[in-house]
Structure 1
Amino acid sequence: MFPNLAALLDRFVSLGAISAFCKPLAENDNSKQQIYLGSSFQVVQMFRFEQIQTCREGKIDNYKAKLNFYWIDAEGKEQAKGSQLILYPQYPEVRLSGFLKGCRRAPNEHLRPTPKEARKHNNNEDGRVLFFAVTQNGLTLAFLAPAGSILAIEFLKRRESGEFENSNIFTNLPLPSRNTKSLLLGKLNQIRQHGWHESVRLDKSGNRVPYKAKNGGGYTLEALLGIIPNGRSEPDFMGWEIKAHKTSRITLMTPEPDGGMYGEQGVEAFVRRFGHSTANGTLYFTGQHKVGIRNKKTSLTLSINGYDPEKNVITDVAGAIELLTDDGECVASWSFEALLLKWNRKHTQAAYVTYESRKEAQLTAYRFLSPALAGEGTDFSKFLQALADGAIVFDPGSKVMDPEGQKSTVKARSQFRITKKMLPRLYSKFEPFEF
């Protein structure tokens, strides 16, 4: 048992935590009824998970997201391998399940169901507090303070005094030396004070190398922050997604379709069918696509299947964003399952940084401007709602070069974009920060 909250938070930090939060439990939070985590998918992005699976086998369709979940104490940690988040989009509702099985360190005696005749709190808070922390490498750490324990009493008194900040159903807890926003702003301040930076990127070993292409602003900022480019759906810097931009139109994410003709045959076959030729012979698939509006250049219409925009709820867990021909053929689609994973893992916290560019001897140089725009707290329904309203557009830039030659080359770029002024609608909290 930890003697106080400070000792627990120190233990979380020693295990690599970059964020911590907790939930006072109610009588119906137990191993049988699962642990209720709220009525918003926003809570999902508090955790890290490996994948999301669509489940249509039970009475209620849902998504399941497996967690790398560990119970900790002062001596060590042990994985509860069955742990997962269950997302019920119809309600909506999120629950934690499978958190005890096969784990000796798990607090089994404090998470058993309370018999009906022994209930005292009418399924309200009963004094137990479940603490969570998330590490940079994606582990979820957990510790349960029993009702009446010194740790639980300390936290509840400090919460009552208004000391902590709430985030949905959770209470956020400050980690010692782990204010990630302050650390990020400190790094950005150093970068801004240096002035102009030649265009670079990091190679796979973390070495800075010159970068000559025109899109060097984002790569240069990532390199200055020590971020090695990769295709993983992980935040860039201590839980923060970093978005460098020069214009008011910002790319949110670039997921490739996983269904339709595109998903089955690939980008080249798709561009050859729907792309347009330019003077140099290159085939391009471009043009802004808004939901419900036919694009004159491509003759395709963007649609959302399995989502009710009026209620802002997912109605079909197997739904998708689709590109449709005039006769209703789905030629490209992005499943909710894949997008939900990418959106919630990448956009939990996002910093949007403006840059300027100038030409130097052989390379472009960039400087980065204050303030940064920081978005915190999002969920996939906010993305779908903005897409349905036309605030987010599908704005591709895929191409096939030398399509008639024997060695044609292909570039895939399926991007969803938004204007800067529309960014606040994607987050619960959005504000500028000087650095």
Structure 2
Amino acid sequence: MSFEYYPQSLGDLRGVLAAHGVSEALIKPLSKNHNDKNQVYSGSDFRPLYPLFDLEFRLRGSSSSQKKGARTEGQAIQEAVFKSFSWLRQDGGEVAARGVRMIIYAQYPETRLSGFQTSENTMPAAMSVEFTKKHPEIPRYLVLGRRGGGEALAVMVADPGAAFCDEVSNLPAAPGSRVWKHLRLRQTADVRLQALLAGAVGKLLPGCRLDAMGMTLPFNGTQVCGYTLEHALGINPNSNSHGDFEGIELKTHTQNKVTLFTPEPDMGAYSDDFTHFMTTFGYQDNDGNWRLTGIHRVGVRCPKSGLTLQIMNHERGKSLAASADQDVHLALIDDFGTLAAGWSLERILNCWTAKHNEAVYIPAVKKDCKDPALLGIGYKYDVKFSESIMWCRETSAEQLFEALYNGTLFLDPAPKYCPGRLHLNKRRSQWRVNDIHSAAKEIYNDVRFITLNGG
């Protein structure tokens, strides 16, 4: 069965993508040498594929490039594998392709797409060398549609109508890219989410959550605001990497200081021996537990821990793709240069995922419940959400690192080691900003403040 689509206009493609749940898409005109053998050039850095799509960064063996002046000959290079990638067939069926990846050539720098073959050992014929040799004059377009929390649905467009070609050329460039065009399809999700939020804000709600069966249960933990909002919107609780509402992440906060994400170290003493790390670099509280706390900003020694956060092997202002072969990592080091804890570039990128590319920040107030009836059946808190929210879109790894350089994003750890009571141990690496409304302008390209009409 053929994979190729022949749309006469951009509207034809919109209809196909919308029918398969795509919210936005990247479109790239293909040159003759873009095929299954020569790879598809994507750009000089990770954008716009990351973090629009759900990718897993990892090492990929050795670079064999002999380019004059290349800095990475024989060194490990990186790749980012699509966690979910499917080709759309002409009959509307979908076929998974499990090996599609963005390969990162730091020496140029550039990124290329490879591994287009499906699990059934099929592939669009128009992606083959044979096709480009036989039909070099036929226009081809690779379309990557985003749906859910970053799943990729690919469409191979071949020999489209002239109107389609003109309309694609007039589309805006994708964020941070000179080779991809950006098509936004989702028109109703934003409106529907705003309508749902409007029904939840401005009124006192009992702190609760939905269980797996959709039943309402009291919830009295620290995440009561988030669970209560999900309950009000009819969302079952989740802790995976996908956004809460059709790929949109919902983040409630009771203060301006907000935790953006919580990647744990994968390097240094912390990763190798947690007990040794805590007893070496931490302090004991009155109960004999070991703790490590304090604000850690890049380049500033934290007097409480005696550790300094550093960005290693990266030149500020340089793209991370160009540094991907240089062992870039975040490091907590002591005064003697000992690596107490470290976060590899892969760890950071794999935690700053597709769900962060669009996020809604909703201020909340948590109060003690005063209703005797609710107290009697286990409710402890009431929650009220603000009618003023902040809607953020389009981030990048470079913006995240620039926020680290500026000190806007910092590490505020709270691990705990309890000798003899190991079940009480806690690992918590909180990466925070002091004022999310100010910090968002550094981290996202599109920040909008919206006032909802609560009821």
Please point out which of 183, 186, 189 is paired with 1:173: 183
Please, which of 263, 268, 274 is the counterpart of residue 281 of structure 2?
A: 274
Q: How does 1:60-139 map to 2 (within 5 A)?
A: 60=72, 61-67=76-82, 68-75=84-91, 76-89=93-106, 91-100=108-117, 106-112=123-129, 127-136=139-148, 139=151
- 2:427 is the counterpart of 1:412: yes
Q: How does 1:153-302 map to 2 (within 5 A)?
A: 153-159=162-168, 162=170, 166-167=174-175, 168=177, 169-175=179-185, 179-192=188-201, 195-266=203-274, 268-302=275-309
1:23 maps to: 28
Q: Give, as a single letter, the amino acid of the residue that structure 1 aligns with 2:139.
A: G
**Partner SS, residue 261 of structure 1:** helix
**% identical aligned pairs:** 29
Aligned residue type for 1:241: E
Go from structure 1 to structure 2 and tell me whether the alpha carbon gap of 1:296 and 1:164 turns closer, same or farther (over 3 Å shift).
closer
The question of 1:349 aligning with 2:365 is answered no
Q: 1:355-410, CA deviations, whole angstroms, 9 ceiling, x for partnerless residues?
A: 1222223422122123322221111121112112211100012223xx35556611
1:48 aligns with 2:53: yes
2:78 touches 2:324 (CA, 8 Å); kept in 1? Answer: no
Distance 1:164 1:315 in 2: 28
Aligned to 2:410: 393
1:328 paired to 2:373: no
> 1:381 matched to which residue of 2?
398
2: CA distance, partners of 1:269 / 1:197: 45
Could you say which residue in structure 1 is the equivalent of 2:328? 319
Structure 2 CA distance for aligned equivalents of residues 307 and 365 of structure 1: 46
Q: State the 1:110 CA deviation.
A: 4.9
Residues 252 and 292 of structure 1: CA distance in aligned 2, closer, same or farther (over 3 Å): same
Partner deviation per Cα, 1:85-109 (whole Å, 9 max, x = no partner): 1234555433211214776653234
Letter in 2 for 1:296: P
TM-aligned CA distance change 1:102 to 1:422, over 3 Å:
closer
Contact 1:285 1:397 in 2 (8 A): yes
Tell me the CA shift for residue 276 of structure 1: 2.4
1:178 deviation in Å? 5.6
Q: Say whether 1:57 aligns with 2:72.
A: no
CA root-mean-square deviation: 3.1
Q: 1:377 to 1:62 in 2, by over 3 A?
A: farther
Instruction: Map Cα deviations across residues 212-244 of structure 1 (whole Å, 9 max, x no partner).
Output: 134422232233334444443222221112221
Q: Does 1:426 align with 2:443?
A: yes
Distance 1:310 1:141, change over 3 A: closer
8 A Cα contact 2:149 2:355, kept in partner = no
Q: Do the aligned partners of 1:87 and 1:95 also contact (CA within 8 Å) in 2? A: yes
Q: Does 1:304 align with 2:311?
A: yes
Change over 3 Å in CA distance of 1:62–1:376 after alignment to 2:
farther
Deviation readout 1:249-279 (Å, 9 max, x if unpaired): 111101111111111223x543333322334
Question: What is the SS of the residue equivalent to 2:201?
Answer: helix
C-alpha distance in structure 2 between counterparts of 1:90 and 1:381, whole Å: 18
Specify the code of the residue in structure 2 equivalent to 1:71.
Answer: W
- Residues 78 and 105 in structure 2, CA contact (< 8 A), matched pair in contact too: yes
1:330-359 CA distance string (max 9 Å, x none): 121111112112213231111111112222
- For 2:323 and 2:51, the matched residues in 1 are separated by 24
Kept in 2, the 8 Å contact 1:31–1:113? The answer is no
TM-score (norm 1): 0.85
Which one is further off, 315-324 or 332-341? 315-324
1:186 and 1:46 map into 2 onto residues whose CA distance is 27
Q: Residues of 2 paired with 1:251 and 1:95: CA distance?
A: 33
Q: Which residue in the other structure is 1:123 paired with?
A: none
Alpha-carbon spacing, 1:269–1:211, altered in 2? closer, same or farther (3 Å): farther
Cα deviation code 1:67-89 (max 9, x no counterpart): 23222123222233331112345
Query: Kindly tell me: are residues 246 and 101 of structure 1, through their superposed partners in 2, closer, same or farther at Cα, counting changes over 3 Å?
Result: closer
Question: For the residues of structure 2 that align with 1:347 and 1:155, how far apart are their CA atoms?
Answer: 32
What TM-score do you get using the length of structure 2 for normalisation? 0.82
In 2, distance between residues paired with 1:262 and 1:104? Answer: 43
Displacement of 1:327: 1.1
SS of the aligned residue for 1:23 comes to: strand
Deviations 1:42-91 (A, max 9, x none): 31236534522123511355321222322212322223333111234555
Report the Cα distance in structure 2 between the residues aligned to 1:137 and 1:269, rounded to whole angstroms.
38
CA contact (8 A) 2:40 2:112 kept: yes
- SS of the counterpart of 2:350? helix
2:387 partner SS? strand
Q: Distance in 1 between matches of 2:17 and 2:390?
A: 29
Change in Cα spacing, 1:380 to 1:89, as seen in structure 2 (3 Å) is farther
Residue ranges of structure 2 left out of the alignment (5+ in a row)? 65-71
Structure 1's consecutive aligned runs of 4 or more residues displaced over 6 angstroms after TM superposition are 113-116
Measure, in 2, the Cα distance between the counterparts of 1:159 and 1:3.
Answer: 12
The equivalent of 2:67 in structure 1 is none
Which one-letter code corresponds to 2:329 in the other structure? A
Q: Secondary structure at the match of 1:299?
A: coil
